[in-house]
Every structure is written in C-alpha cells, then in structure tokens.
Structure 1
C-alpha cells in the first residue's frame, strides 16, 4: 500500500500505479465538492448546536455551556473563513497546500466539540447518555455521506468515536461503550468505502478524459500525416502525369523541330495538345465535390471553342447525376483524359459535323455517351490502337467499363460506364 503526503496529513492511496498527479486531481475534485456545500453545512451544524443547547442545556453547568458554545461557534467562523479563502483563490490546487492544514484542524475541533457532549453532562443520566450517543451516531452518519476526502472524514469521525466511547466507558456501562464503538466503527468503514468509490469514479473520469485527449492528439497527428502523404502522392502524380503526357509530347515535338521534319501545322497541333493536357491536369485539381456533371462542364468550357472552330456542332445532353464518393483528383484526371481522347478522335478521324455528349444514370452506374455522325469503322476488321487500349485501361482503373459501338457509314458511339459506389 503506497502512502502519499498531502499538506500535514498522510493519505492511503490505491496500489494500482496511478500517477500522483492524477490522485492529486481526484483529491482536488473532492475538496471542490466540499467547498460547494460548506455554507449549507455550517448553517445546518449551527442550528444543531443551538438545538442541542435548548434540549440538553439543563444538564450542563452554565460555565460549560458558555465554553462549549464559544469553542463551537468560534470554530465555525474559522472554518467558514478558511473555506471562503480556498473558494476565492484562482487555483484550488495552489490554495490547498496553504489552507488545507487549517481546514483539517477546524474539522478535528468540530469532532472534539461534538464528541465532548457526553463528558459535559452533569449528572450522567443513562437516558440522556443514550440520546446524546445516538445523536452523535446520527451526526457521524450524515458526515460520512457528505462530499469530502477520506482524510477529512477520519478527522471528523475519530474524535467523536474516541471521546464518546471513553465517556460511555467511564461514566456509564462498559457494554454500552463496546456497542457504540462497534457501530460507529462500522459507520466509519462504510463512509470510507463510499468515499473510495466516489474517488475511484473521479479517477476513472480523469483517466477517460486524459485518454480522450491523447486519442484526439494522436488523431490530429494522424490526420496531419495523412494530409502530408496525400500532398506527396498528389505531387508525385502530377509529376508523373506531366512527365508522361506533357513532357513526352514536348520532347517529341522538340526533337522533330530540331530535325526540321515537322511542318508548322503539326507543331501548332502538338503545342495545342500540350496546352490541352496541361489544362486537364489543372482542371482535375479543382474542387468538384464528387460531382461528375461539374467535371464534364470543364470539358465543354475547354474544348467547346476548339470543336466549333473545327466545324463540329456539340450537342450537350447532360442530366443530373448522383455524386460519386470515390471521384478524387486522380480519378477526375482519368475521366477527363477519356473524354478528351474520345473528342480528339472525333476531330481527327471521324470526319463528322455533329457530336453529342450525353449522360444517363441507373441504379448503381452512371453513363457517359460520346456519339458522332461520322464515317465510323468496322470493329471486326479495324484493330484497336494504342489510344483505345489506353482508354480501356483507364476505365478499368476507375472500376468501370469502356464500350465502342461503330459501323461504317453510321458513326461511332463511345460509352463510359462508371460505378456510383466503388468497393
């Protein structure tokens, strides 16, 4: 059993390895509970003092009544002053080492005042002895149920126990002293158990609060680490995208220009492709709130003028779609590249004058249709090029499916199916 000093007193502490700082916080809470009720407690005990004088005053000599009242009420005033000083301090933790010894001393004096009642009776009438002892027993029972620390409880009960028991032993029957000692000891043990249970609850509450604070700090640290990792991954993704897309296109164009075998129109087309690719990367970083319609609107804004200059009429048939919780910037870039490549193929190969971009929603999928009225091609005779294979890989990465429907003379329809929820 560990023992921890506090002020001028010694308190037994639980042998469970609880830090001293945590036990101190629990004791501070117990003292704070006591200070929250000290006014009503002192008012009640003052009324009891006057009631005792009224009921049993005739059994005391006058000078003993005066001395007992002087000590009792003087002690109540001193205890009120100490309690008020502790209550008015900014920090109870700092006030306790200074004022707690005085508070414990006043509690001991209160116990001596009430425990001395049987010694003041003159003559020692057995019936009056019994009433006074029962009154002290009732007072002790009230004390053990009031908010306080175990040390305060012992300081209040022990003087009553010793003085009242010795008075019964010397001025009455010894057997009554034994009965009284047993009963008041049981009451004291009960009070100590009650206070221990209250203090355990306070300690567990502090432990839970400390654990919650620690978990909150760890969660904040994890969120910060995850944010840093997300930024790092996003930075790496941008580097890869720009290296594989914009970088490779610029390098190939530069090499062709250096060899003087690239016409001006091809240079312009390559640079336009680089600008479009750079815009796609930038657009994918915009906050879309998982909204596919908003993402597609950026395609219309970026490529609409280019389609118009090429003589293509864009039919915008976009309907409301459910949010896609998985649609983050990397996924948004894949969607944008799929749509951009599909429209670029219409410009380069379809020989069309009309293209339709439409969306549809089903129970668990959303669909993006890109349909032109161009020349089309035979799926059975024309092998899939690198671009179409890349589109299929992008669709698989998104958890969706890429479909091609085309025939000679009736145009081409490209369909991208995306899941609403991706597992």
Structure 2
C-alpha cells in the first residue's frame, strides 16, 4: 500500500512541466559537474593563465550570478517566467559553445560575465516554475525531488568528466552547451507562460516595501543568510583546513564529498517527506542545531572519521532545510512578486555564501586553528537562541500551510 501511495503522490507532483524541469536539471547538472571540477585546472594548466587570472574567472562564474538574481527575479515577474527562463538557458548555450572555441582571456572573461546574466535569470525562475503547478502539500517534496535529481547528477559527473577532460576539455564545454540547448527547446515547446506578472516599473521599490512588512519573509531571508554562511564552510574552509592543517590527502577529501553526494541521493525524498509535516520553525531550528554540531566537531577532534561524520551531518542539515526554505519564500510571496521574492532569497544565499567563505578563511588565519571553529560554532549557537526568542512564533506553522504577514 505504501508503494502504491508513493506512486500516486509522485503522479500528482510530476506533471509535464515538472518532468521537463527534472530532465533539464539532470542533463545540465551532469554536464556541469563533468566540467566544473577541472575548470580551474584547464584555465591555469592548459591556457597558461596566472593563478590570479584563473581565480578571477572562477569568482565571476560562481559568485556574481547569485548577486544578479535580485534583478533577475524582478525581470521575470515583469516580462514573464517562461520568456526569461528561455533567454537565460540560451545565454548558457552561447557561453559554453563560445568557451569551446576560444582561448583568449578577454573573450573568456566576457563570456563568463554573460553566463552570470544567464544564471541570474534561470536560478529564480526555475524555483518558481518547479512548484507553480504543484499542490501546496507537495511543494516541499517537489523541491526535494529536484534536489535529489541534481545531487544524483553531480555524484556521477566528476568521475565521467575526469576521463573526458584528459581527452578534450572542449568536449566538456560542448556537452554543457548541448544539454542547455536541449533544456531550452523542451521549455520553449512545452511550458506555458505564468499569468500573474508584475508590470510595475517600480518593482524593486514595491518588493522592498512589501518584504519590509512581511515578517515571515524577513525571517526566511535571515535564516537563508545564516544557513549558507555556516554551510559554506564545507565547500572552502573545511577542505583548506583538512589539507593545510591536518594534512589529509586529496583523495580522502574527495571521499568526503562523495559520501555527501551519496547521502543526498539516498535520503533526499525521505527527508522531504518528513519535513513536509513539520513547522518552519522546527525545520530551521533542527538545521541550525545540526550545522552547529557539525562545526563543533573540528574543535574537539582531528580524526578523519569524525570529519566524515561532520560532513554527513551537514549534508542532512542541507537536505532538511533547503527544500523547505525555497518553498517557504515562494509561499509567502504575493502572486505578482514570486520571482522577485525568489530573487531576494538567492541574493541572500549568495551573500551568506560569499561572506561565509571569506569569514572562514579569516577565522582560520587570524585565530588559532581551534579558535576559528569556536567562533563559527558560537555564531551557530547565537543564531539558535535568536531563532527561539524572536522568530519561532512567527513561523511556527506546518510547511504545508499558508503563511500570513504577521
């Protein structure tokens, strides 16, 4: 009976539009994860760029798009979700095919800047479209299903990419371009335009005024910033610490992230089913406790297996929080500002990630090795206390319910 119920539930979640998103997500995430781990190596070793020049490309490619989503969200609400999504996807096509045909630094930088525009349009749009035709009770699980698809792709992509990169790096770029073109065609042919659009020329001012009076939205934005500030340590501070201070090998560091990907694939939908029955406050509280506990491990242990435990705990925190956080922000948004609200959410994600990465490095440099982890853990503890004192009542409702502005 449970298997039958699960199948029936997925039938309600996976409509034609969502199926296209799942297929497109898998294709683009697979080819991206085949390419990106070796992108910096390609820039430095193959194109003989300096480390600074290569780092500039990577910084623009990975960081700037999240800062641009605020404008991207406003644009999609004004001009149309499908239209801007298609433009964003096609910009990625131009970027990847362009990268396969040039080795000129200026051209690469221009193409990379162009790709950030594409990301600024696609990131908030795909989140809105993911649940635009899904019932409220299944929105969290829809995000979870898309995240599971994404995680499965990035779990296998780097292994395939390592072989292709040895043969021809241009082939990796072409593969990315083809996957985005397929996604573009599928969206163009199958999606319908979202009707509720904001035609105001003062969309940013309007949305800021609206968010200022929307306390649940403000809390979700704050949680987004804190969550990504703390969780970003897994992508930069932890690897640097393990490599330079604990002398863990690259292979063992790679194993940590393979374990994370496997855990994500195995537990994504199970966790989504559980969190869909919890209140937002409970989800955020559990997340902060897990992240704080994971970071505290580095204070008390230098054992590799404890590091694996830490990464697993942080992965569970992401599985618990991210689908709920994404669906919550869209749920609290007015119908004509959903893209804009999503843009604000991604902006705060990027801000939290950028500052988290930077702060983690400073903490490790300026404090003694244990001191940096103590500071990060204390930030988590303070965040837990603030959530309990000031935010819990505002978002103490089930994730399937509608949130009022109070």
Give the structure with higher Rg (CA): 1
Determine which structure has greater relative contact order: mean sequence separation of CA pairs < 8 Å that are 6+ residues apart, divided by chain length.
Answer: 2
**TM-score above 0.5, yes or no:** no
TM-score with structure 2 setting the length = 0.20
